[in-house]
């Protein structure tokens, strides 16, 4: 395995302000794991269990990693912590893995963070959902264009609400530095329309995980982001492989196994998303601590409920053979 120095020098080449991809678009056409973030008993970043998770996930076949993104508590992390995690991920996965760094807040902060991530070994960046009040597509356009034009990494944009609008995303798709959209609005008619209108200039990914991935796939999404993959990577890779091959009965069987995780995470407006994963991963032998405020903390009955729910899922995961990389 090449060291991080190689990736910090070679991850991208800058030509006239545009970041040149050093990976093929097809490498993103898979399960994109959002590895959760570990904290110790004092709430400080704990890289050791995260390194073990990275190595284990890579061994299982995961090849795209989105550390420190939404389910990994982006909004509770300092920029220095995000960079430390990016470095750790790069050091614990193979040369063929794609590391996508999240960025956001105001444009200057987003540009600085993504360019630091480039130096830390990231292959691409992801602009997190816009979190400002009083938003408009006109303002979002200026904001996103500024990031696209000054990033040293190829970029993706995360859509999780009305803004940025689909027409704006189609306009931005012409930009050389935009490679994909993480689309997390479960309106299949709108998604089908926008992906057809784009005509393949960029990739449009399902941003709402295994619960909705088959529907997005039928509309043309070549991959999806996953939180459940922290606990059962082989199952979700098998689901993706089956969809890619058009084996829909098999894909839906895999989805049926995974759905209890997705249903639990979605409780009460998705407020169990992070806490469920952080408790559930204990059943795989890793302690990631509890989420930072303001994330929901679990009650003892909820913890027991999750433990019981995971028993058959982990049994199915253990029974899976190692999935080939690149599915």
| Chain segment 275-327, per-residue pLDDT in tens | 999 999 999 999 999 999 999 999 999 999 999 999 999 999 999 964 444 45
Nearest to 117 by CA among 97, 88, 159, 93: 88
Position 135 in a domain: yes
Residue 129 structural domain: 4-246
Average pLDDT along the chain: 93
Q: What integer is the mean pLDDT of 48-58? A: 98
pTM of the model: 0.93
Residue 95: give its domain's CATH number.
Answer: 3.20.20.70
Position 309 in a domain: no
Position 276 in a domain: no
How does residue 127 score in pLDDT terms, banded at 50, 70 and 90?
Answer: very high
Position 10 in a domain: yes
How does residue 19 score in pLDDT terms, banded at 50, 70 and 90?
Answer: low
Q: Give dist(CA 197, CA 195) in Å, integer.
A: 5
| Chain segment 59-97, per-residue pLDDT in tens | 999 999 999 999 999 999 999 999 999 999 999 999 999
Most distant pair of Cα atoms in the chain: their distance: 57
Position 303 in a domain: no
Domain count for the chain:
1
Position 319 in a domain: no
Position 259 in a domain: no
pLDDT at 323: 46
- 3-state percent breakdown (helix, strand, coil) of the chain, nearest 5: 50, 15, 35
Position 111 in a domain: yes
pLDDT at 8: 32
């Amino acid at each position: 395995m090449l060291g991080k120095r190689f990736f910090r020098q070679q991850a991208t080449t800058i030509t006239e302000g545009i970041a040149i991809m050093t990976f093929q678009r097809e490498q993103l056409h898979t399960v994109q794991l959002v590895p959760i973030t570990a904290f110790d008993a004092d709430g400080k970043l704990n890289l050791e269990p995260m390194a073990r998770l990275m190595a284990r996930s890579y061994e299982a076949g995961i090849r795209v990693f989105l550390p420190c993104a939404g389910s990994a508590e982006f909004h509770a992390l300092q920029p220095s912590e995000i960079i430390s995690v990016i470095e750790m991920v790069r050091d614990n996965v193979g040369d063929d893995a794609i590391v996508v760094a999240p960025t956001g807040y105001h444009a200057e902060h987003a540009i600085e963070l993504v360019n630091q991530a480039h130096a830390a070994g990231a292959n691409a960046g992801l602009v997190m959902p816009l979190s400002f009040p009083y938003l408009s597509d006109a303002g979002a356009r200026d904001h996103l264009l500024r990031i696209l034009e000054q990033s040293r990494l190829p970029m993706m944009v995360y859509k999780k609400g009305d803004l940025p609008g689909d027409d704006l995303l189609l306009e931005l798709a012409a930009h050389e530095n935009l490679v994909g959209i993480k689309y997390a609005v479960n309106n299949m008619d709108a998604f089908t329309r926008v992906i057809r209108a784009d005509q393949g200039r960029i990739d449009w990914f399902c941003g709402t995980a295994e619960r909705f991935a088959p529907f997005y796939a039928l509309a043309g999404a070549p991959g999806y982001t996953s939180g459940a993959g922290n606990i059962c990577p082989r199952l979700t890779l098998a689901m993706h492989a089956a969809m890619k091959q058009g084996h829909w009965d098999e894909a839906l069987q895999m989805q049926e196994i995974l759905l209890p995780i997705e249903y639990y995470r979605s409780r009460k407006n998705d407020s169990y998303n992070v806490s469920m994963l952080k408790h559930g991963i204990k059943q795989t032998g890793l302690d990631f601590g509890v989420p930072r405020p303001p994330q929901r903390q679990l009650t003892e009955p909820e913890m027991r409920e999750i433990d019981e729910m995971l028993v058959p899922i982990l049994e199915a995961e253990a029974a899976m053979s190692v999935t080939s990389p690149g599915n």
